[in-house]
Structure 1
Amino acid sequence: MSRRERPPASVRREEVSRRGLLQTAGGLIAALALGASAAATKADAAPATFTHPGMLHNAGDINRAKVRVAAGNDPWLSGWNKLIANSHSHSTWTPNPQTTVIRGGTGENYGILYNDIAAAYQNALRWKVAGTSANGDCAVRILNAWSARLTTVTGNADRFLAAGIYGWQFANAAELMRGYSGFDLTAFKDMMLNVFYPLNKSFLTNHNDACITNYWANWDLCNMASVMAIGILCDDGAKYDQAVTYFKSGAGNGSIGHAVPYLYTDASGYGLGQWQESGRDQGHSVMGMGQMGAICEMAWNQGDDLYSYDGRRFMKAAQYVAKYNLGNGVPFTTYTWGSGQNCAQQSQTVISSTSRGQVRPVWAMLHYHYNRRLYLDDKYIAQMAFSVAPEGGGGDYGSTSGGYDQLGFGTLMYAK
């Protein structure tokens, strides 16, 4: 059954807090039972009690996928078939845990980690949707193997990308397996707190001792997502708040005002927001939709509407990136930033066409939020979402790291 968290009149508020509206079982909203003052209250702090599961997927999402797949309904069934065709989702997957993961520099081995994370997540989805214990056992086997062995994530500056991207993804796989027999959640939390979080915090605080604008938006975003996911996994309100605060007002390029520096309205009246990496290339711009989307979805499932923050600034960015990657023209304002350690000035005067039209599984999450939860006209996001459906995940978009930057399977888990 599809769920509608808000009646249309209230969803059009520029910023809506959902804290206190989530029911523990099913993630459903009792909006009609609350007064207008409660609906309008701005949430600035972590929930007193975290919702579980409450990252990329809540109980309602899982139940909907389960019911629709069992009934053979599309597009859920097409999304399911995409999942079970992926070799990472097979219960025979054998984990290969490492003591040290290296991204950047000599001895890189991080591909082992992102393949195992994809396998853990995909097996967790199969268990949640179909109830197959073999897949649940496999997911737990992977998670336990890594938490028992991993002590270090290192390398050159790219170690911060590894800690960020794989941090939030790993935590999401673990969140789905919370409470599963044999899953050592305590050991897994320890790994996230002692291996991943220190790097996440270091980057957001010091940016590898570089100029604050040196690193692209995605570097901040993946580390923000990891901090948020770790906060939810560990029921740690301070970490959750750290991520939300950075999203709203952080000094780096991942905070919403820096990630979307310029706003426009196109000839058809659609709001557009220039993405910070648009002058760099489109692969990383689309990646940004997935990274910021993950942050917004995790916050949504804990009662905070970052999707609509600052006049739905993120939606405008997604419309911009989607419109350009569909082959349409978009405006572009010269983007200037400080680089390196001395903030040497650089500028981009035109939008980049490099990797234009690249397919990544990031659009279903955004379309089904803005169009099906909030009833908004998301023309370009919608066109992009349906042009790449059904979405796959790690292993469906090439063997290099870019194909594993998103967990994917949005058609299966978000269609409404």
Structure 2
Amino acid sequence: MIGLDGDLFVNAAEIMRWEGGWVEQGAKWQGGSGFSIQLYWLFARQSVIIGQANYGIVSIKALLSFAIYLDDVAMYNYALYAYKNDLCAGIESTIDSSTGQSSESGRDQSHSMTGLGWLALAARVVNNQGYNLFTYANNLLLKGSEYTAKYNLNGTVPYDPKFYRCEAVLVNGPWSKISTDQRGIQKQVWDILHYSAVANKLQNPWTLKAKQATDALGGERRVTANDMPSWGDLFFATKG
């Protein structure tokens, strides 16, 4: 998806620009034909229409990264507003504030975990700008992490069949019960979620157990997919 691959490109460009002194080919004060133009007209234009659930979350995450690279305040504020308020992809629409249930919990556990990872990455981007999204809405992201971690560690969690993603009918929903499909700690999302909780001095017992289960299998290592970064401990480790 544009939101995933575009995010990888813009992070690479940011590193090259600020650490390697790279200057875009074709850049000039009147505007140019360089990478920034591609960000606006290819990547950002396709991400600005926020989709549903995870598809929308990844668009929000990407727009935040694009906006920072481009120094585009309007785009940044648009994406930040969507993170908080979008009716189909905002955090309060994708995580139940009363329990932490994911809007994808009835679909499968892979989508539930991936959505948490992308919300955490978006929060990390915003945190680097000096604003804390991890504790937004009474620590809602952590509540979602604890719920999904507990269930995927074979714990019992409440499930509300009335809380589900927009246009669930497109993916065989709504769902009458929580899904066992792809149940288990299998996604590289737990390092960023755990360390974000640690940085904010928040207890995260189930998230920590999920990280420990991942570590027991070798930890978050190099990945070849574009969902999450490799080497979670290296990127996200922090002291409380």
Percentage identity across paired residues of the two chains? 28
- What CA distance in whole angstroms lies between the structure 2 residues aligned with 1:181 and 1:374? 34
- What CA distance in whole angstroms lies between the structure 1 residues aligned with 2:44 and 2:10? 11
**C-alpha contact 1:392 1:409 (8 A) present in aligned 2:** yes
Matched residues, number:
225
The code of the aligned residue for 2:194 comes to: H
Normalising by structure 1, we get a TM-score of 0.51
Q: Give the C-alpha shift of residue 289 in structure 1.
A: 1.4
Q: 2:91 aligns with which of 256, 260, 282?
A: 256
Bigger proportion of residues as strand: 1
Q: For residue 361 of structure 1, what is the aligned residue in structure 2?
A: 188
Residues 1:197 and 2:44 are matched in the alignment: yes
Q: Give the C-alpha shift of residue 175 in structure 1.
A: 1.7
**C-alpha contact 2:123 2:133 (8 A) present in aligned 1:** yes
- What CA distance in whole angstroms lies between the structure 2 residues aligned with 1:407 and 1:309? 23
The code of the aligned residue for 1:250 comes to: D
Equivalent residue runs for 1:233-382 within 5 Å: 233-252=69-88, 254-264=89-99, 273-335=100-162, 339=167, 346-371=173-198, 373-382=199-208
Give a deviation string over 1:231-261, Cα, whole Å, max 9, x none: 0111111111111100111122x10111013
User: Structure 2 vs 1, CA of residues 182 and 289 (structure 1 numbering), >3 Å: closer, same or farther?
Assistant: same
Q: For residue 213 of structure 2, what is the aligned residue in structure 1?
A: 387
**C-alpha contact 1:224 1:247 (8 A) present in aligned 2:** yes
- What CA distance in whole angstroms lies between the structure 1 residues aligned with 2:81 and 2:231? 29
- What CA distance in whole angstroms lies between the structure 1 residues aligned with 2:168 and 2:174? 14
**C-alpha contact 1:227 1:239 (8 A) present in aligned 2:** yes
Give a deviation string over 1:127-154, Cα, whole Å, max 9, x none: xxxxxxxxxxxxxxxxxxxxxxxxxxxx
**C-alpha contact 2:153 2:184 (8 A) present in aligned 1:** yes
Q: Give the C-alpha shift of residue 169 in structure 1.
A: 2.3
- What CA distance in whole angstroms lies between the structure 2 residues aligned with 1:240 and 1:181? 24
Q: Give the C-alpha shift of residue 228 in structure 1.
A: 0.5
Secondary structure of the residue aligned to 2:82 is helix
Give a deviation string over 1:143-193, Cα, whole Å, max 9, x none: xxxxxxxxxxxxxxxxxxx11111222212222222314553752222211
Q: For residue 177 of structure 1, what is the aligned residue in structure 2?
A: 16
Runs of 4 or more consecutive aligned structure 1 residues displaced over 6 Å after TM superposition: none
- What CA distance in whole angstroms lies between the structure 2 residues aligned with 1:244 and 1:348? 30
Q: Which has the higher contact order (CA 8 A, sep 6+)?
A: 1
**C-alpha contact 1:393 1:406 (8 A) present in aligned 2:** no
- What CA distance in whole angstroms lies between the structure 1 residues aligned with 2:173 and 2:189? 29
Give a deviation string over 1:44-96, Cα, whole Å, max 9, x none: xxxxxxxxxxxxxxxxxxxxxxxxxxxxxxxxxxxxxxxxxxxxxxxxxxxxx
Residues 1:404 and 2:233 are matched in the alignment: no
The code of the aligned residue for 1:374 comes to: N
The code of the aligned residue for 1:385 comes to: K
The code of the aligned residue for 1:405 comes to: D
User: Structure 2 vs 1, CA of residues 385 and 346 (structure 1 numbering), >3 Å: closer, same or farther?
Assistant: closer
List alignment gaps of at least 5 residues for structure 1. 1-161, 208-214, 265-272, 396-402
Equivalent residue runs for 1:25-36 within 5 Å: none
Q: For residue 87 of structure 1, what is the aligned residue in structure 2?
A: none
**C-alpha contact 1:362 1:408 (8 A) present in aligned 2:** no
Larger Rg: 1
**C-alpha contact 1:361 1:393 (8 A) present in aligned 2:** no
**C-alpha contact 2:185 2:214 (8 A) present in aligned 1:** no
- What CA distance in whole angstroms lies between the structure 2 residues aligned with 1:274 and 1:310? 15
